């Protein structure tokens, strides 16, 4: 995999291609791999040099939970493994079906429950990074200030090392940075969804990691003739080109592609060695 790294939070050195654990559970919808395959994927990822795993306690469906798979596969954890989790309006995976008025995860009690659930299910005393995920409730009536202040207090208790934010605007990031040090931003961004271009650059200038979710399109994979042409030139797959483009886009981008396939895991990690030419990048900008 690529030897390029980023100091997440200033002190956690992570490879720029990580792994997103959501697809191991089939949450919130979709297929999932067999349990033994999921465990094998996690172990193989670490063997390949992945040391940044993205997860959440609420990535859980029908008794299959991402954090528990991570713990079974990898605990005791390698010294350099960084596990990033998130809390927000959802506490349990099934909360996704609740009316917004019944989602209590952004209250002080809900946030503590979420943090403690992650600590317990991962089997750790302190979480490396916790992202405050916004966006599951009406944004016009939901501010990140109070929830972030709650997480800052939990950080001061020693339960969290670094804080991040997810599904935020540039204005909300500025508000967050006035409250607490922010290690990372996790938003929707990929080759075909570039609304966050200015925010990527702003994060880079501030030394903040930008972690795009759905880096290869998520539930709607990226397709474009120009992608096919670049992939053909390199003998690579379209997802590999999409990942290589993200790495070339800015040095603060950390990709966390998720997969339930060992073969796709190998492909994703190998994308870290794919170097796109100026001509490739020009073609992909159009």
What does the block give as tokens for 74?
């990898």
Contact assessment for residue 257 and residue 68, using Cβ atoms and an 8 Å cutoff: no
Q: Is 72 helix (H, G, I), strand (E, B) or coil?
A: helix
Q: Is 66 helix (H, G, I), strand (E, B) or coil?
A: helix
Axis crossing angle, helix 278-285 with helix 225-234, rounded to the nearest 10? 170
Is beta strand 160-166 parallel, antiparallel or unpaired with respect to 209-210?
Answer: unpaired
59 carries an active-site annotation: yes
Place of tokens 């690579």: 236
Residue of 19, 58, 59, 77 marked catalytic: 59
Q: What residues contact residue 272 under an 8 Å CB cut-off, 6+ apart?
A: 1, 2, 4, 15, 16, 17, 243, 244, 247
Q: Which residues are catalytic?
A: 59
């Amino acid at each position: 995999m690529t030897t390029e790294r980023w100091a997440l939070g200033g002190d956690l050195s992570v490879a720029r291609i990580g792994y997103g654990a959501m697809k191991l559970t089939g949450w919130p919808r979709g297929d999932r791999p067999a349990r033994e395959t999921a465990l094998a994927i996690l172990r193989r990822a670490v063997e390949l040099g992945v040391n940044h795993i993205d997860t959440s306690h609420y990535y859980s469906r029908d008794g299959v939970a991402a954090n528990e798979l991570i713990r079974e596969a990898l605990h005791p954890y390698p010294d350099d493994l960084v596990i990033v989790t998130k809390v927000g309006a959802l506490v349990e995976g099934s909360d996704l079906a609740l009316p917004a008025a019944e989602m209590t995860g952004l209250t002080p009690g809900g946030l503590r429950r979420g943090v403690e659930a992650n600590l317990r299910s991962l089997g750790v005393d302190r979480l490396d990074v916790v992202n405050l995920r916004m966006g599951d409730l009406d944004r016009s009536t939901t501010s990140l200030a109070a929830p972030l202040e709650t997480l800052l207090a939990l950080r001061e208790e020693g339960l969290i090392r670094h804080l991040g934010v997810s599904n935020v605007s540039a204005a909300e990031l500025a508000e967050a940075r006035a409250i607490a040090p922010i290690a990372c931003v996790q938003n929707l961004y990929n080759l075909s969804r570039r609304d966050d271009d200015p925010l990527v650059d702003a994060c880079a200038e501030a030394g903040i990691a930008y972690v795009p979710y759905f880096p290869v399109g998520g539930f709607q994979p990226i397709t474009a003739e120009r992608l096919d042409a670049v992939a053909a030139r390199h003998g690579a797959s379209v997802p590999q080109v999409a990942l290589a483009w993200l790495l070339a886009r800015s040095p603060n981008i950390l990709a966390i592609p998720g997969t339930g396939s060992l073969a796709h895991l190998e492909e994703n990690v190998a994308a870290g060695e794919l170097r796109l030419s100026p001509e490739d990048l020009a073609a992909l900008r159009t």
